[in-house]
Structure 1
């Protein structure tokens, strides 16, 4: 007869080796989770911080360019002011002057006659094709551009034809019961650019000023469709009393008095 009470059963309790393996695996698992979490937080946090810095830099540049625009436009508003100086404090990006820029034509009267056809000897800023190249003074960083053009200020992303907006209106006014007024700046300067590392002083100087008063009741500002700031100019030629049907690049003013047009050629130094 077998004494079952004395039968030996396998010892199922964990050995020291089993416990050691479990502890190592647990340590590896916990360490991996911590490592991945830190890496994820670093990547996301670094990208968020970088995006924040870029946004702040562009917002600061926008405010600085708005201040410069107000300052520069004293040259357009007042005939006795020949130059204006301002500073841009930027550690990154590119400051540039471009003599090309947006092309504009101005027509006076309901027959669509260009002012170049009327006064070719007066408006020296007009080109041979009967239009005027406004040129631009711009700041570009991280793909975005903020540009002073024609006396207005615009901002656009890297694909300028897809998105742009006006920040400051040019000196274009059409008010009921008074004369219409159009004053535009045209940049005459060699194309140049710099990458500032600190504060950069910029001077805009009047080179030539032409003013003409027309005894007509209608004036149209036409912007060529190859402008890099289409949406911004659609807004600008449809503001301040001008009407642009279907949000086009053509704004018309039906004035009750005379039409005063001033073109100011300007240069930039920095």
Structure 2
């Protein structure tokens, strides 16, 4: 009986230890899953907020609003007016290349970055991208018209204002303030067919190539590596023989406030 009692006791201890280890494992997995779900929801919330920013920018550019403020809630994350990227829009008359135009825009993207992952949400040139590492997707497509019948490029030029707070982080509710600085029609060509080029220099050049080349009348070159160590890769895309070309620029001064 003594040996059997010892055996039963040891068996109980082993079973109890296994149960405890399984409970610990399930708890750890559950907590990790819960944290992952929270992280995803935080990025989703940032995506929705920056999509509203895009709507507000269209109010400024297209509906005459002098300014707009967009609320963003941060939780272990940062919001930055990032280093400028470059968009170059040029065109030449198909029958006479000496008739041409070139417009260059330096655009400071608004970038949401989660502290706990490499996920980013980026607003630039009226587009919204969600990225993780080198991959990503456009969740808001730029409002370009790129067809042989008509090319319309509304250039949304976001830039820091003179006394801008260009980065905030941590946890809290912040405002993205946007004030209209200037609006110009930089090209309005209806005097013949034009070959139009858009070159994008950005760390997300490959994603821009994927987006622009998805349009039926657009062709794109391969992405070119950065020309300098601190430069960005670039991609050039084309619409040839466009009958009407319009390029309208709206410059907006940006800052963050709590």
Q: Normalising by structure 2, what TM-score?
A: 0.80
Unaligned runs of 5+ in 1: 1-15, 117-122, 124-130
CA contact (8 A) 1:166 1:235 kept: no
The Cα offsets for residues 164-213 of structure 1, whole Å up to 9 and x where unpaired, read as 21111223213454x42111122221572111523322221121222122
Corresponding residue number in structure 1 for 2:250: 264
Corresponding residue number in structure 1 for 2:167: 193
Which among 112, 116, 130 is matched to residue 139 of structure 1? Answer: 112
CA contact (8 A) 1:208 1:266 kept: yes
CA contact (8 A) 1:165 1:229 kept: no
Corresponding residue number in structure 2 for 1:174: 146
Please state if 1:252 is matched with 2:238: yes
Unaligned runs of 5+ in 2: 224-234
Corresponding residue number in structure 2 for 1:107: 90
In structure 2, relative to structure 1, the CA distance for the partners of 1:262 and 1:96 (3 Å cut) is same
Please state if 1:165 is matched with 2:137: yes
- Which has the larger share of strand? 2
CA contact (8 A) 2:165 2:255 kept: no
Which among 154, 157, 177 is matched to residue 183 of structure 1? Answer: 154
**Larger Rg over CA atoms:** 1
In structure 2, relative to structure 1, the CA distance for the partners of 1:192 and 1:174 (3 Å cut) is same
State the 1:153 CA deviation: 0.9
State the 1:36 CA deviation: 1.0
Corresponding residue number in structure 2 for 1:73: 58
Corresponding residue number in structure 2 for 1:127: none
The Cα offsets for residues 223-260 of structure 1, whole Å up to 9 and x where unpaired, read as 13xx2213321133235565024676322224553311
Corresponding residue number in structure 2 for 1:149: 124
Corresponding residue number in structure 2 for 1:210: 184
Q: Distance in 1 between matches of 2:199 and 2:100?
A: 10
- Alignment partner of 1:115: what SS? strand
Which among 72, 75, 83 is matched to residue 67 of structure 2? Answer: 83
State the 1:137 CA deviation: 1.0
Corresponding residue number in structure 1 for 2:78: 94
Corresponding residue number in structure 1 for 2:11: 26
Corresponding residue number in structure 1 for 2:205: 230
In structure 2, relative to structure 1, the CA distance for the partners of 1:112 and 1:246 (3 Å cut) is farther
In structure 2, relative to structure 1, the CA distance for the partners of 1:51 and 1:175 (3 Å cut) is same
The Cα offsets for residues 125-167 of structure 1, whole Å up to 9 and x where unpaired, read as xxxxxx432211121113211111011111111x2xx212111
In structure 2, relative to structure 1, the CA distance for the partners of 1:53 and 1:112 (3 Å cut) is farther
Corresponding residue number in structure 1 for 2:231: none
Q: How many residues align?
A: 234
The Cα offsets for residues 88-139 of structure 1, whole Å up to 9 and x where unpaired, read as 1333311111241x322112114498734xxxxxx6xxxxxxx432211121
